[in-house]
Structure 1
Amino acid sequence: MALLTTFFAFLYHLPRIYKWLLKPYYVVSLFMSVAFLVVRKTPGICEHLASQRDDGNSCDFDWREVEILMFLSAIVMMKNRRAITVEQHVGNIFLFSKVANVILFFRLDIRMGLLYLTLCIVFLMTCKPPLYMGPEYIKYFSDKTIEEELERDSRVTWIVEFFANWSPECQSFASVYADLSLKYNCAGLKFGKVDVGRYGEVSTK
């Protein structure tokens, strides 16, 4: 039943998945996640790779590589049990796929492992997940405006998110929070945000 629910949720979000998967960050992440698969299966390249298979076929996975990939699948399934958005699900898959690729490439050839690890570090330092830029009814507070605004009208209830731009969880939750603000914003219920990176004292208080 849970598998069926996940499948229908995936179909529901499919158009949205296509839309943001085409962004450069996710396109590069996808290619990096399948890099070992491509190298191992591409004719003209795979014939020159080492393999521990009994039949000597270097264009197919050996038993240890299958073991690593199965372990990756188990880790992704456990990690995704706590994910709340499609972005988090896909992000977890990309993250652990890259980790598995590092292990697989180092096992195959230390030079390929170092090259792939270097690419991962460069990607991590230069590319950040795209921030949500869609419609929303959210007021962004500073340390000087939040108290005044919250106390202005006692009939208004505020839901305030304290977020950090560097946090993957906050980035993936941004679209969910925006959807909530679009659906439920009214005269008696308002939505706000405070950047804890800029206004740490307010969030502590």
Structure 2
Amino acid sequence: MSFKQDFRQLIKPYYVFNIILSFSYIICRKTPGICNYLFTVEECEFDGRETEILFFLVIVVMIRSRKTGSVTMINYLSSSFIYTKVANLILWFYADFIMGIVYTIVFVLMGLLLPEPAYSGPDKVIYFRGPNSLDEELARDKHVVWIVAFYTVWNPACVNFAPIFAKLSSDYGLDNFKFGKLDVGRYPDAGVKYHVNDSSLSKQLPTMLVFKDGKEVDRRPLIDTKGKIVKFLFSEENIKAAFDISNLYETLKSDLKIRKKHVKSD
């Protein structure tokens, strides 16, 4: 995502209000006048407990951002908002119980009224509606190779992954090479069938599966022989390399031309 695209995202209400909430305590605590009024102190400095909480927050955000595969500014912000807001919640309750209640109300209202913006750019993604819709499509035409992303709408890694998957579908989509998405949060039975854990602690969100001849032939992240999830960074470059998408595209494009020639000759 370019700087201009990042900036256009940042000025959306969701990001503006979440940045304000994430820095609300620091701003109020360090701004003369506001600090003196809210905290009834003479000097606007953090005490030992506040410093510990903020230092712990920095460490948690860095670790969790790396685990979610955040690679852009927007990705980092999206994956860190929940931790920064929880830290602010603790700090506000630590400073004043009433202010903690006020912050909680604002926190909840913002979550209900301003959900994270979903990707709305160009794509050739087909969304499967229902637990059996993918099975039916795979059985309908086995000449089609499918790359299907299993996701949930509430998972930050899935939200960050959406524009990458959309771009891949636009760049490589063919009549016999299709890209689909299935919400395992909405259709958990499909998650069970394809061994994708949709829990809040799952390390399998998102998961990409490749289907050829109606059968799964590859997936990321992989599951090793001990049943552990092998970490995978869902960047565009990694996905192309892992599934050899460029070569697969050229092969399927050639196959499609041959099939069309046969149809015309018949």
After TM superposition, the score normalised by the length of structure 2 is 0.63
Q: 2:105 aligns with which of 99, 114, 118?
A: 118
> Is there any run of 5+ residues in structure 1 with no aligned partner, and where?
1-11
Q: 2:55 aligns with which of 48, 64, 70?
A: 70
Deviation at 1:203, TM superposition (A): 4.3
Deviation at 1:123, TM superposition (A): 1.8
Is contact 2:68–2:157 with CA below 8 Å preserved after alignment? no
What residue identity is the alignment partner of 2:156? Answer: P
Alignment of 1:1-205 (within 5 A): 13-48=2-37, 49-50=39-40, 57=43, 59-85=44-70, 86=72, 87-143=74-130, 145-205=133-193
SS in 1 for 2:67: coil
Note closer, same or farther for the CA distance 1:78–1:151 as it changes in structure 2 (3 Å cut): same
> Is there any run of 5+ residues in structure 2 with no aligned partner, and where?
194-266
Equivalent residues, number: 189
Which stretch shifts more, 68-77 or 105-114?
Answer: 105-114
Is contact 1:50–1:108 with CA below 8 Å preserved after alignment? no
Separation of aligned partners in 1, 2:113 and 2:98: 23
Is contact 1:36–1:105 with CA below 8 Å preserved after alignment? yes
Structure of greater relative contact order (alpha carbons < 8 Å, 6+ residues apart): 1
SS in 1 for 2:179: strand
SS in 2 for 1:128: coil
Deviation at 1:84, TM superposition (A): 2.3
Which stretch shifts more, 159-168 or 107-116?
Answer: 159-168
Deviation at 1:70, TM superposition (A): 1.0
Greater fraction of residues in helix: 1
Question: CA-atom RMSD, angstroms?
Answer: 2.3
Is contact 2:79–2:157 with CA below 8 Å preserved after alignment? no
Percent identity at matched positions?
Answer: 39
